[in-house]
Amino acid sequence: MPSKKAPNPIDVHVGSRVRLRRMMLGMSQEKLGESLGITFQQIQKYEKGTNRIGASRLQHISTVLKVPVSFFFEDAPGTPQEAMEASGTQPTSYVVDFLSSSEGLSLNKAFVRIEDARVRRRIVDLVRSLAGEEA
């Protein structure tokens, strides 16, 4: 039986950013799929990086999710070497996992509503301290 080719790290990254933004908006895979005229299963494949998102589809997704296309490439591995290194453990996967949890999503939504940058920095310092990490 032939082995399946591993997904391209950029496709995985873009898919994880689609999932991140969708979760931030509280939108289901089904709802995003309906907006794009595709199934939620296709959205699942995009989010896992199993299926590559074409340029016109990514433009449509960016419109539905109300972010610029560049959002999906933020922190993406830029060089082939970085892409190879990222194919192991995806550095942004813990962010997606965190924001996929109800606690993470609630914390993020509340945090972004705090307008004072000093207060936000103090909260980050507090959380680091509670986690036993130096600021």
Write the class of the CATH domain 9-100.
Answer: mainly alpha
pLDDT in tens, 65-104: 999 999 998 878 775 555 555 555 444 566 667 776 778 8
Cα 119 to its chain centre, rounded Å, is 25
Provide the angle, in degrees to the nearest 10, between the axes of the packed helices 9-24 and 40-48: 120
Going from N- to C-terminal start, the domains of the chain cover 9-100, 101-135
Q: List the one residue out of 22, 8, 124 whose CA is nearest residue 71.
A: 22
Q: Which two tokens stand for residue 64?
A: 């539905």
For the chain, 135 residues long, the average pLDDT of each consecutive 10-residue run is: 74 91 90 97 94 96 96 77 52 65 82 88 90 73
pTM over 0.75: no
Residue 116 DSSP class: -
